[in-house]
């Protein structure tokens, strides 16, 4: 029976972290100006271990991944798969500079095609 459980667990293991997650981790590290060696020392890991995580050769334990994400001033979120494209779109929009350069907050749900020349609606 132990062999059956072990077989099921092995089947669920990832080959490596998803490439977009690895890329995001690497970009966040580079934004801070940290080398792999610097972040490794902050986490009490080796540079080789960080390199393995970023390249997909090593799948970190959950607590290691959580520490890595948090030290990069990020967070992990559980999002229903159906909403992943929406969340990714919101993040992309947030990271893009304001088109008008005014620095005002933008609505998260506006389509951006709204024209300020529209006449105001009469309230009933």
3-state secondary structure of 45: coil
Would you list the domain boundaries of the chain?
A: 2-71
Fold of 2-71: 434 Repressor (Amino-terminal Domain) (1.10.260)
Per-residue pLDDT at 98 exceeds 70 = no
**Residue 116 scores a pLDDT above 90:** no
Residues of the chain with pLDDT > 70, as a percent, come to 67
- The Cα 42–Cα 71 span in angstroms is 8
- Kindly state the helix (H) or strand (E) to which residue 41 belongs, with its residue range: helix 36-42
Check whether 22 has a pLDDT greater than 50: yes
DSSP 118: S
Rounded to whole angstroms, how far apart are CA atoms 38 and 50? 10
Q: Are 62 and 21 in contact (CB under 8 A)?
A: no
Is pTM, for the whole model, over 0.75? no
């Amino acid at each position: 029976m132990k062999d059956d459980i072990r077989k099921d667990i092995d089947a669920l293991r990832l080959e490596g972290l998803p490439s977009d997650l690895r890329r995001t981790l690497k970009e966040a590290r580079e934004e801070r100006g940290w080398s792999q060696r610097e972040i490794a020392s902050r986490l009490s890991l080796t540079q080789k271990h960080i390199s393995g995580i970023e390249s997909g050769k090593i799948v970190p334990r959950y607590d290691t991944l959580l520490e890595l994400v948090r030290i990069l001033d990020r967070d992990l979120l559980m999002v229903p798969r159906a909403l992943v494209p929406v969340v990714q779109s919101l993040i992309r929009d947030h990271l893009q500079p304001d088109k008008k350069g005014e620095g005002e907050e933008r609505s998260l749900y506006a389509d951006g095609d709204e024209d300020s020349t529209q006449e105001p609606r009469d309230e009933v």
